């Protein structure tokens, strides 16, 4: 639909600005629900652009030598690698909290 008003200005929805690393508060836990019995490490709480989330996810997956995905504000990493992920995030300067068992 188009406006015929010559003064109309379309407001674009911009992606959220990525917070600085030291201001990020990430939560890391293990999940095996709805995954066919397989274990996954979940990282939630990232505030920022999807491209930055995917870059962080790629770095974590590469460092752990496993697969996974990064979308909708969370990173899913295959396997029980929570401790390694937390260590990597803390070395990068992120604040992270361990949740779950």
User: What does the domain layout of the chain look like in residue ranges?
Assistant: 21-98
Whether 96 shows a pLDDT value over 60: the answer reads yes
Query: For 54-84, b where at least 16 C-beta lie within 10 A, e where not — what string?
Result: eebbeebbeebeeebebeeebbbbbbebbeb
For residue 3, what pLDDT is reported?
59
For residue 2, what pLDDT is reported?
60
Residues 49-71, mean pLDDT to the nearest whole number:
94
* In the block, residue with structure tokens 């939630």: 44
This model's pTM is above 0.85: no
- The CATH class of 21-98 is alpha beta
Q: What percent of the chain has pLDDT over 90?
A: 63
Q: Which residue has the higher pLDDT, 17 or 92?
A: 92
For residue 65, what pLDDT is reported?
95
Structure tokens at 41: 């490490």
Interatomic CA distance for residues 96 and 86, integer angstroms: 7
């Amino acid at each position: 639909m188009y406006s015929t008003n010559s003064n109309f200005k379309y407001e674009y929805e911009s992606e959220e600005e990525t917070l600085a690393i030291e201001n990020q508060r990430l939560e890391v836990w293990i999940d095996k629900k709805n995954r066919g019995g397989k274990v996954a490490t979940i990282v939630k709480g990232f505030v920022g652009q999807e491209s930055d989330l995917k870059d962080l996810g790629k770095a974590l997956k590469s460092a752990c030598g496993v697969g996974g995905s990064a979308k909708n504000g969370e990173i899913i990493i295959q396997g029980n690698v929570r401790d390694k992920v937390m260590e990597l995030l803390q070395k990068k300067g992120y604040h992270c909290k361990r949740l779950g068992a």
